[in-house]
Amino acid sequence: MTSTIRLASPAELEAAFQQELATDRWAAAETAYALALRLRDAGEWDTSREWVKQCLQLLDGFPSDTEEQVATRRTAVGGVPLPNYLHPGVVRERFGELA
């Protein structure tokens, strides 16, 4: 049996990001990553680049000295899988020249 998870639309992810930005900046960074990935996979390079930048800006405000500090809290956001660890190096590696 396969489970089908509906991917959130970019608009849904952006709405979640706006809410999280005011209440939980780490969750907002995770959502910005998911949004950047979702848009990249849809071929929306310029918009994806903007979300990569947003994610990196948020991550710069967090310590990243230990694995515990960079471990993601969720496995996915809106059906978009997250890496186990989220820090600027991971984002730059995953997004290459979009970062």
**pTM, rounded to two decimals:** 0.93
pLDDT at 2: 56
d(CA 44, CA 60): 24
Q: Is position 70 within any domain?
A: yes
Give residue-wise pLDDT tens across range 7-32.
999 999 999 999 999 999 999 999 99
> Residues of 52-82 as b/e, b for ≥16 C-beta within 10 angstroms?
bbbbbebbeeeeeeeeeebebeeeebbebeb
Q: Is position 73 within any domain?
A: yes
Q: Is position 85 within any domain?
A: yes
Burial class (CB in 10 A: 0-12, 13-18, 19+), 85: middle
Q: Is position 2 within any domain?
A: no
Tally of structural domains, the chain: 1
Give residue-wise pLDDT tens across range 39-62.
999 999 999 999 999 999 999 999
What domain range is 70 assigned to?
Answer: 10-98
Q: Is position 19 within any domain?
A: yes
